[in-house]
């Protein structure tokens, strides 16, 4: 079992106040040209795009398919002209997919260059292959890549859960193809940005001198406690507000990587001991990470496993919901469970903490970058179903005892992940370094 670690320092090379940066870019060229490349533009760059545009710089975005233009921001799209080669070696398919997307992106950038646009800095997410050929089109531009994660055959997500098959040769070949794309991006980039210390630590050591740890940022003015928050489900005859006995679980998709199976197995004990508790589960039926089940969905599989032991009148599967509803849920919940393999840390857990939720998390490396057990939340072994039920029941029964942790959780986000006072200033410093000032 991993031991609790102190929160790591996100703030090296970052000044204490965002206001110190209000005039930081004045010394740059009167107007820099910035290009943002992301399959789902603006994606994780949404705050940075607005920040740069507000500073008077020319911002152009490139994404796949239909791209929505924001005020003052020119947004372009690229289109895939082909699919994978029929009969291609299965181990090569992953990398070919990246090359196909990289080619489409490069052709779009060639057209952009022909139109006269020469960026000073290019920000790119390399995960889908879009960064592969950027330097071939714009060799003089500084390239900054968002490096969220580097895959390993052991010690991280792959092979973490004994419930699923061990690491096969095919699995390792698939990881090699994923990493080949990322390695080329790391070689080409002038700077890399990783959201958290642990995620940065997954990258090869030789990248260290190029790398900054900068989170995308949490809007703590938006994600804050609100005693007036309300959610109503008229079709189920239920309404909830702060103070109600509410337990929540949130993931993009309900799948093992995010501990859905562990949470479901803890529910029978929780519901038996807390007969008034209402459980709200947010997430889709798809698979974001790892293998898909042979049939059906993971949501169905693990619900069937415990369905006979649950009160269906108190369990609410909400599917994918609007962000406003998610935020209200975090402002209401008495206890929020966040479990994850050693993988990318979800924004949702930080937003929950910022909104004042008490989080019970897995004692896995990404979560330990944000939560210290007993200080600003509670941690336990990922696989400890009985321990999870015990801790949830204690929080539900004795909510007031944990108010200090709730306040500390929000303070952690303010100090380490706040958009305005931490993350944008760090990006401003990166822009300054890219510009050579």
Q: Are residues 203 and 249 in the same domain?
A: no
The pLDDT confidence band at residue 221, using thresholds 50, 70 and 90, is very high
CA 108 to chain centre: 27
The confidence score (pLDDT) of residue 30 equals: 55
Count of helices and strands (H, E) across the chain: 13, 15
Q: Are residues 64 and 202 in the same domain?
A: yes
Nearest-angstrom CA–CA distance, 112 and 119 = 10
Contacts of 394 (CB under 8 A, 6+ apart): none
Average pLDDT of the residues in 309-332: 97
Distance in angstroms between the alpha carbons of the first and the last residue of the chain: 46
Residue 276 lies in a domain: yes
- Whether the link from the prior residue into 42 is cis, omega within 30° of 0, is yes
Residue 187 has which token pair? 């070689």
112 membership: H or E segment, kind and range:
helix 90-114
Average pLDDT of the residues in 239-244: 97
Q: Mean pLDDT across the chain, nearest whole number? A: 91
| Percentage, residues of the chain above pLDDT 90 | 82
pLDDT score of 280 more than 50: yes
129-165 pLDDT, tens digit each: 999 999 999 999 999 999 999 999 888 998 899 998 7
pLDDT score of 213 more than 90: yes
Residue 347: phi, psi to the nearest 5?
-60, -35
Q: Are residues 206 and 238 in the same domain?
A: no
90-113 pLDDT, tens digit each: 999 999 999 999 999 999 999 999
Contacts of 11 (CB under 8 A, 6+ apart): 415, 416, 422
Average pLDDT of the residues in 305-334: 97
Residue 146 · residue 44 · CB < 8 Å: yes
Average pLDDT of the residues in 343-365: 98
Domain tally, the chain: 2
Range(s) of the domain holding residue 255: 231-416
Please report where in the chains the tokens 């004990």 appear, as a residue.
269
pLDDT score of 87 more than 70: yes
Q: Are residues 412 and 428 in the same domain?
A: no
| SS3 assignment, position 414 | helix
| CA quadruple 343, 345, 349, 355: dihedral, nearest 10 | 180
Nearest-angstrom CA–CA distance, 86 and 90 = 10
Residue 36 lies in a domain: yes
Residue 252 DSSP code: E
The confidence score (pLDDT) of residue 67 equals: 75
Nearest-angstrom CA–CA distance, 368 and 362 = 8
Q: Are residues 192 and 76 in the same domain?
A: yes
Residue 13 lies in a domain: no
Residue 190 lies in a domain: yes
Q: Are residues 282 and 153 in the same domain?
A: no
The confidence score (pLDDT) of residue 414 equals: 98
Please report where in the chains the tokens 């994780």 appear, as a residue.
44
The pLDDT confidence band at residue 292, using thresholds 50, 70 and 90, is confident
Q: Are residues 113 and 77 in the same domain?
A: yes
Residue 7 lies in a domain: no
- Measure Cα distances from 28 to 55, 117, 219 in Å: 11, 18, 27
pLDDT score of 170 more than 90: no
47-61 pLDDT, tens digit each: 999 999 998 899 999
SS3 content of the chain, % helix, strand, coil (to 5): 45, 15, 40
* SS3 of 43-110: HHHHHHHHHHHHCCCEEEEEEECCCCCCCCCEEEEECCCCCCCCCCCHHHHHHHHHHHHHHHHHHHHH
Number of other residues whose CB lies within 10 A of the CB of residue 26: 9
The pLDDT confidence band at residue 14, using thresholds 50, 70 and 90, is very low
The pLDDT confidence band at residue 392, using thresholds 50, 70 and 90, is very high
Q: Are residues 411 and 422 in the same domain?
A: no
The confidence score (pLDDT) of residue 168 equals: 86
Q: Are residues 255 and 332 in the same domain?
A: yes
pLDDT score of 7 more than 90: no
The confidence score (pLDDT) of residue 25 equals: 43
Q: Are residues 183 and 317 in the same domain?
A: no
Residue 273 · residue 247 · CB < 8 Å: no
Quote the radius of gyration of the chain (alpha carbons, Å): 23
Average pLDDT of the residues in 383-393: 99
Residue 129 lies in a domain: yes
Q: Are residues 238 and 93 in the same domain?
A: no
| CA quadruple 13, 18, 24, 29: dihedral, nearest 10 | 110
Q: Are residues 376 and 427 in the same domain?
A: no
Residue 347 · residue 419 · CB < 8 Å: no
CATH number assigned to the domain comprising residue 147 = 3.40.50.2000
The confidence score (pLDDT) of residue 26 equals: 42
Residue 226 lies in a domain: no
Residue 144 lies in a domain: yes
């Amino acid at each position: 079992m991993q031991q609790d670690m102190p929160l790591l320092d996100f703030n090296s090379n970052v000044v204490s106040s965002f206001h110190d940066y209000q005039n930081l870019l004045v010394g740059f060229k009167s107007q820099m040209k910035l290009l943002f490349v992301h399959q789902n533009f603006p994606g994780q760059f949404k705050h940075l795009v607005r920040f740069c545009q507000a500073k008077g710089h020319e911002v152009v975005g490139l994404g796949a398919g239909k791209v929505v233009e924001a005020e003052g921001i020119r947004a372009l799209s690229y289109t895939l002209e082909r699919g994978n080669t029929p009969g291609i070696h299965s181990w090569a398919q992953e990398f070919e997919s990246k090359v196909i997307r990289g080619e489409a992106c490069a052709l779009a950038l060639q057209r952009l260059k022909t139109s006269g646009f020469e960026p000073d800095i290019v920000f790119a997410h390399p995960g889908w292959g879009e960064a592969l050929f950027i330097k071939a089109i714009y060799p003089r531009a500084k390239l900054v890549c968002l490096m969220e994660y580097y895959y390993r055959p052991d010690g991280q997500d792959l092979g973490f859960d004994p419930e699923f098959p061990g690491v096969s040769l095919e699995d390792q070949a698939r990881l090699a193809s994923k990493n080949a794309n990322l390695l080329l991006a790391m070689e080409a980039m002038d700077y890399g940005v990783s959201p958290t210390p642990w995620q940065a630590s997954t990258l090869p050591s030789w990248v260290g001198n190029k790398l900054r740890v900068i989170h995308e940022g949490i809007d703590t003015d938006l994600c804050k406690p609100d005693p007036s928050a309300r959610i109503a489900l008229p079709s189920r005859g239920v309404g909830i507000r702060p103070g109600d006995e509410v337990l929540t679980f949130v993931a993009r998709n309900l799948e093992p990587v995010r501990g859905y199976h562990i949470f479901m197995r803890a529910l029978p004990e929780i519901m038996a001991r807390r007969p008034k508790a209402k459980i709200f589960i947010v997430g889709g039926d798809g698979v974001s990470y790892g293998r898909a089940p042979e049939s059906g969905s993971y949501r169905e599989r693990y619900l069937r496993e415990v369905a006979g032991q649950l009160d269906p009148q108190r369990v609410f599967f909400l599917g994918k919901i609007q962000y406003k509803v998610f935020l209200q849920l975090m402002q209401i919940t008495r206890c929020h469970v966040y479990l994850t393999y050693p993988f990318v840390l979800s924004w949702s857990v930080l937003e929950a903490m910022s909104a004042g939720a008490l989080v019970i998390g897995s004692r896995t490396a990404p979560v330990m970058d944000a939560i210290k057990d007993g200080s600003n939340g509670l941690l336990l072994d990922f696989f400890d179903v009985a321990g999870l039920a015990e801790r949830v029941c204690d929080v539900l029964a004795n909510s007031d005892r944990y108010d200090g942790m709730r306040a500390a959780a929000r303070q952690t986000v303010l100090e380490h992940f706040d958009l305005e006072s931490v993350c944008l200033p760090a990006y401003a410093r990166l822009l300054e370094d890219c510009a050579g000032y």
